[in-house]
Amino acid sequence: MAAIRSGVNALKKETGAIRTTLERLTLTIEEEARSVVRHRVRERLNVDVELDRIFVDSMEVNIYGAAGDLCVVGEATVRLGPTLVSELLSRIEAIKRNRPDLLRRRIVKVIYADYATPEALEAAKKAKVWVLKWDEDLTPLAVEESW
């Protein structure tokens, strides 16, 4: 019985360590995304927008910032599939319904990803979502005018 208890405690400890590592990695990609996106927006649009994550009700948005008449709304992920493109669009619609004060006349929809499937890139292009990684744009930067 003591051996089983010891084994369970060891598993709990190991699970906790794995969870901590995963949380650190997730925060790291989000921080990297905000840094790269901010730099590219400043470089391409000549707008310096502070980016952070926000919560609207219980919904988290990894990338958000507004400056003047421009806002940036997006997500960060290691692997981008078409589902996340749809989720981003749904999140933006939820912001529009529940917190329209967060949106501006011009919006950049963005997803930062280490890898993106071809299907996800097709969906992003159709939805005018800018997909990029640290060294290149995977879809063109688009700025949508008021919705």
| 83-128 tens-digit pLDDT | 999 999 999 999 999 999 999 999 999 999 999 999 999 999 999 9
Global pTM value: 0.82
Looking up residue 112, the CATH number of its domain turns out to be 3.40.1350
The string of DSSP letters for 70-121 reads: EEEEEEEEEEE-HHHHHHHHHHHHHHHHH-GGG--SEEEEEEEEEEE-HHHH
How many angstroms separate the CA atoms of 16 and 27, rounded? 17
| Domain span including residue 73 | 2-145
| Chain center to CA of 113 | 8
The string of DSSP letters for 43-68 reads: HHH------EEEEETTEEEEEEEEET
The residue written with tokens 């590592």 in the block is 21
